[in-house]
């Protein structure tokens, strides 16, 4: 199931008015969260960026920020509230980003993920991502390695 049927929900573009809510959600989702300026920067990408939020019963439960560089989709950040995980929102956000990128001539997608984030690795592998590299001590909060993943679109 991709999301609970019958639950009032909305996947829509992120807006400047979402900056406080998305930053607060990011703090619950990430060990090293972005600040409002990071999300604002994503919104300033305009046509080169794809930033979305998920609202369930008017509460923000998910977000995604991606951008294109030539024919490559880069996944910058994605998060789903811990109480809403395993409900399919991350998969739906990723599929929407892939479709957007393909419509713009995208041929590949790539991202970095914490080496120990088993749930995220399972999600990405299920979407066709494969490991192509490793960045040692990439994350500043705990020096955890990042795995570089790539998927053909």
* CATH number of residue 146's parent domain: 3.40.630.30
Give pLDDT, residue 6.
Answer: 54
What residue has token string 């570089």?
148
With respect to residue 128, please indicate whether it lies within any of the assigned structural domains. Answer: yes
> Rounded to whole angstroms, how far apart are CA atoms 33 and 54?
18
Compute how many other C-beta atoms are within 10 angstroms of the C-beta atom of residue 145: 15
Give pLDDT, residue 1.
Answer: 33
With respect to residue 79, please indicate whether it lies within any of the assigned structural domains. Answer: yes
Could you tell me the residue range of the domain that residue 98 belongs to?
9-152
The distance of Cα 12 from the centroid of its chain, to the nearest Å, equals 14
In the chain, the number of structural domains is: 1
With respect to residue 4, please indicate whether it lies within any of the assigned structural domains. Answer: no
Task: Indicate the SS3 state at residue 144.
Answer: coil
Give pLDDT, residue 2.
Answer: 42
> Rounded to whole angstroms, how far apart are CA atoms 153 and 139?
27
Which regions of the chain are under pLDDT 70?
A: 1-8
């Amino acid at each position: 199931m991709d999301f609970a049927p019958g639950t009032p929900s909305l996947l829509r573009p992120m807006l400047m008015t979402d900056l406080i809510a998305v930053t607060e959600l990011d703090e619950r989702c990430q060990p090293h969260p972005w600040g409002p300026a990071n999300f604002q920067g994503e919104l300033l990408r305009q046509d080169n960026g794809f930033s979305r939020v998920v609202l369930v019963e008017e509460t923000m439960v998910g977000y995604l920020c991606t951008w294109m560089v030539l024919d490559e989709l880069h996944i910058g950040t994605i998060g789903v509230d811990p109480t809403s995980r395993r409900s399919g929102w991350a998969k739906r956000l990723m599929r929407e980003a892939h479709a957007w990128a393909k419509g713009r001539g995208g041929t590949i997608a790539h991202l970095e993920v914490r080496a120990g984030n088993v749930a995220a690795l399972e999600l990405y592998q299920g979407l066709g991502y494969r490991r192509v590299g490793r960045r040692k001590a990439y994350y500043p909060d705990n020096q955890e390695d990042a795995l570089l993943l790539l998927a053909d679109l």
